[in-house]
Amino acid sequence: MNGGCKDFWAYDTVANSWTRVDSLLGMPSDDAVGFSIGDTAFVVGGFTNPNSVTEVWNYSAAGNAWTKRQTTYPGIGIQQMIGPVAAGRIFVGLGTNNPTGAPTDDFWEYIK
* Cis peptide bond upstream of 28, omega within 30: no
Residues contacting residue 81 through CB under 8 Å, at least 6 positions apart: 32, 33, 44, 45, 92, 93, 94, 95
Residues contacting residue 71 through CB under 8 Å, at least 6 positions apart: 56
User: Average pLDDT in the 20-41 region?
Assistant: 84
pLDDT of residue 2: 46
Does 8 score more than 90 pLDDT?
no
Q: What are phi and psi of 79, to 5 degrees?
A: -120, 160
9 or 51, which is more confident: 9
Residues contacting residue 72 through CB under 8 Å, at least 6 positions apart: 54, 55, 56
Q: What is the rounded end-to-end Cα distance, in angstroms, of the chain?
A: 30
Question: What confidence tens digit (pLDDT) does each residue in 82-105 have?
Answer: 888 888 788 888 888 766 777 888
Rg of the Cα atoms in the chain: 14
